[in-house]
Homo-oligomer: A and B are copies of this chain.
């Protein structure tokens, strides 16, 4: 198990030059079938694995796309990543994932790390970055796709939804249904700009109709069903006259739903519920939860395709600078 075999070793064993071996292994240029065979056999025999570090340096390009998301445990992002992977699967580009933990400083570090690998493009969640990160991205001279959130100005290109709009839409529906004592349940507010924007949109729409939230409750941790249930209990004890609850995420809302099911509350007569995301999980529940469907997979798919498109045609088509995808608000059984 001595030293790892290099292209030189393969070339020597095959009795050809390094260049020829390189051509065969990469499948480029014209090489006779006979030499092809010799090189391939030699490579197999040695268990040769090309060194992309060297290859990347020589060709001054690596087929990487950097992808940075706030969290990987949040059910939302794995679907976005899947969209990205699927879109890149047919190309020679490869995604590399990094996580920022909803922390702008950490995001900056991750961006720097990623950039140091000289990727072909970068996809990252959100429009908010540190000043230094912003500068690095602008200077990188590669396609930058900011995803998920389109309420603001992208550095380069933006693919996502309007979270403000999502909040407004839900507020309007809730008011149309006649609810008047509305409570809000959220987590991770200071960390999650998108949840904040939904809440802002929600509140502003209420205000337009001379209404406001009757009560709000926040918890600074990861969303979970259990947390949603506990917060619902606390909030309803504190404000028993609430007739509708808007949650910052489906996971929390499912917790509320579970609470209602066990405590015998009738939905939506005793209390109405609404979440956000449109998680697949909702399909399996006994009651269909009102929510806003977000095309997560589609966002990932488009972001990756945008990078692919830019590789072909480096002149940015300005009209597509901002791709605002449709969201659909579902009333379902709980509103």
Asked if A96 contacts B96 (CB within 8 A), the reply is yes
Binds B, one of A72-80, A185-193, A268-276: A72-80
Residues 101-136 (chain A) with a chain B CB within 8 angstroms: 112-113, 115-118, 135-136
CB distance from A61 to the nearest CB of B (A): 10
Residue A177 at the B interface, CB < 8 A? Answer: no
| With known contacts A82-B72, A85-B99, A254–B284 Cβ distance under 8 A | yes
Query: B residues within 8 A CB of A53?
Result: 53, 56-57, 62, 117-118
Which chain B residue shows the least CB distance to A283? B226
Asked if B261 contacts A141 (CB within 8 A), the reply is no
CB distance from A283 to the nearest CB of B (A): 4
CB distance from A112 to the nearest CB of B (A): 6
Asked if B94 contacts A113 (CB within 8 A), the reply is yes
Residue A286 at the B interface, CB < 8 A? Answer: yes
| A: interface residue count bin | 35 or more
Contact of A52 among B82, B116, B225 (CB under 8 A): B116
Complex Cα spacing A94 to B66, Å: 14
Interface flags for A130-172 (1: CB within 8 Å of B; 0: not) read: 0000011011110000000000000000000000000000000
The 4 closest A-B pairs by CB, nearest first: A225-B284, A226-B284, A226-B283, A262-B286
Please name 15 further chain A to chain B contacts, defined as beta carbons within 8 Å, in addition to the given A73-B79, A226-B283, sorted by A numbering: A4-B141, A47-B139, A49-B112, A51-B116, A51-B118, A54-B57, A85-B99, A94-B113, A224-B281, A225-B281, A225-B283, A226-B280, A227-B284, A254-B284, A262-B286
Residues of A within 8 A of B (CB): 1, 4, 47, 49-54, 56-57, 62, 72-73, 75, 78-79, 81-82, 85, 94, 96-97, 99, 112-113, 115-118, 135-136, 138-141, 224-229, 254-255, 258, 261-262, 280-281, 283-286
29 A/B residue pairs, CB under 8 Å, sorted by A: A1-B141, A47-B136, A47-B139, A49-B115, A49-B116, A49-B140, A51-B116, A52-B116, A52-B117, A53-B56, A53-B117, A53-B118, A54-B57, A57-B57, A72-B72, A72-B78, A73-B78, A73-B82, A85-B99, A96-B96, A224-B280, A224-B281, A225-B283, A226-B284, A227-B284, A254-B284, A258-B284, A258-B285, A262-B286
